[in-house]
Amino acid sequence: MSTKHFFPSTEGVVVLGLESLVARNKHLALDAPNKVVYSKTHHPSKVTVISGGGSGHEPAWSGYVGDGMLAAAVNGEVFASPSTKQVMAAISHVPSDAGIILCITNYTGDNLHFGLAREKAAGMGHNVAILRMTDDVALGRKQTENTGRRGLAANMYVLKLCGSAAEDGYDFDKCMKIGEAVNANAVTVGSSLDHCHIPGREHHRSVPDDTYVLGMGIHNEPGLHEKTPMPAIEEIVSDMLKYCLDPEDKDRAFVDFNPDDVVCLLINNFGGMSNFELEALTTITRKVLERDWKITPSRIHVSCFETSLNAPGWSISLLNVSGIERQTNTSIHTLLHLLDRDTKASAWPRNGYKESHLPKKQAQPSSNNTTEATTEKGPKVDPSTIESALRAACTAAIKAEPDITKWDVQMGDGDCGEAVESMCKGVLAKLDSGLCKSGALFHILDEVEAAVEEIGGTLAAIISIVLASYTSQLRLAVAREGEGLEVDVKRSGKAAGQALKNLMGYTSARQGGRTVMDALIPFCETLEGEADLGKAVEAAEKGAQSTRGMKATFGRAAYVGEQGAETQQDAPPDPGAMAAAIFLRGFLDGMSAKK
């Protein structure tokens, strides 16, 4: 792996790259502050397909923006998920009357931040859904039962067919059905000679000479296994294809490939391979497919589709088009038409690079601050009571910061206390500026959620999703029942219960996994079932305390060492769960003080 770069760090490089892409493609526009590339020719009558993720995977994601693929792409920093604010900016640039599909690669940060954006957009009245792309077969069912499979280069087949369907005028449900079926019938496995290197970062462990890694991820994750000495290339390809096609491998036989099925092949360059080798690898793959599996691909796509900076590796993706036909009742002829359909996306092979013409009637992008005009609408609450409750909750959590940090240092990476303190200080700053003065509940909830989201990180994303979804449920209730709706504890419990269900769609963490969910789940379930805030807070506290001595199965603590605990029974409580319980107790005490 080369550790020499023309740029000493990644600072500012993401936007420089996006500026280059937009400068040479007239159909594109760039929202530089939000790192969003969007199509100027997308029509609001058509389904909007948006994707995105961390940078360092170019041309993913912005190289696939254009009629016939994505309407917009959202770019985080290198190997870092974009924020919810960025995703919302993308949604605002490409509005749709038909619906919005957010295609994500099933990594934790993307699930949470795109998930929070979905909740916010739904609360604003958009028809929006998340389509998770999960084609990796290197990690089997057992290893991914908690997190789900990773999204790799077969993502591009999802984006191409779903985007083509949208461009051809298919409705929202049909586009989703095709996208989900493409994902369900796609498999990918990668191999590499070494890790990539990120400018300005410490040198990553190098793979030894005469060794290759099977199943390496695109973020420098370790592979499934290393093989040394290097086998012959036919053996390497044969090994890779077994992970994709072997029906006897019950841990990895994710897709059935029947005789005479129509299959497409995609070969992806991780970024550091020469075209000289990549084209030769494609020929070897094609020959081994025909020899060992009697598969002759109907389409072959070879390029840098989804890279890992300068990693010297590649991946094989297979798409069973016949499987999509069986799942969607869409003919193979139609599916291949969607795959072959021309697109203005610059990174898709065989692009025509046509001159773009803006439609005569273009809907103006909606503002990121769509909710500002309606902040005073909706239910009212007593300003002094809600302010007292929020102040008491934030004060209690800030006071507990030393303990939260101590617990996290023992079992995690030590940043939970600082994050909780920053969230609460952000809320207090909004209270000091008169947030609760009007008593407008939706405005208060939106601003508290914004203060939490601003901090970033997994805990903030989880809390933000719950708050945004809770608020959306109340907004929907007002839309159904009128402005006079009273938000009592029963109504709040029902909204909290649905918010919890929505959250569970974005994280696989559950009660008993030593996370903040050990407090949130019993709180929301008790509030919904008992309609009693006091009992709900007690349930949250009991859940948080139950994490003492609990083995972590989710989150960073699941793989960060437990050196701080001599035995498992000595493990401290989960800091996120305790922070939530402390905040909720403070909120209840603050409400009681005003009664």
56 is in an annotated binding site: yes
Confirm if 216 and 236 have CB atoms less than 8 A apart. no
Active site (annotated) includes residue 197: no
Confirm if 135 and 183 have CB atoms less than 8 A apart. yes
State both tokens at 518.
């050990």
> Of the listed 43, 219, 301, 443, which one is catalytic?
219
Give the total residue count for the chain: 595
Beta strands in 304-428 (DSSP E): 313-320
For residues 108 and 253, give the distance between their C-alpha atoms in angstroms, rounded to a whole number: 24
For residues 456 and 289, give the distance between their C-alpha atoms in angstroms, rounded to a whole number: 45
For residues 160 and 69, give the distance between their C-alpha atoms in angstroms, rounded to a whole number: 5
Confirm if 1 and 194 have CB atoms less than 8 A apart. yes
Tokens 């990918």 map to which residue?
Answer: 188
The enclosing H or E element of 571 equals none
Cis bond before residue 59 (omega within 30° of 0): yes
How many helices and strands in the chain, by DSSP H and E? 18, 12
Confirm if 245 and 293 have CB atoms less than 8 A apart. yes
110 is in an annotated binding site: yes
197 is in an annotated binding site: no
Contacts of 211 by beta carbon, 8 Å cutoff, 6+ apart:
193, 226, 227, 228, 229, 230
57 is in an annotated binding site: yes
192 is in an annotated binding site: no
Full strand arrangement of the beta sheet holding 28-31:
28-31, 36-39, 72-78, 48-55, 100-104, 128-132
- Contacts within 8 Å (CB) and 24+ apart, 458-461: 458/108, 458/109, 458/112, 458/555, 458/556, 459/416, 459/419, 459/420, 459/516, 459/576, 459/579, 460/419, 460/423, 461/84, 461/109, 461/112, 461/113, 461/115, 461/116
- Residues tagged active-site: 219
Known binding-site residue numbers for substrate: 54-57, 110
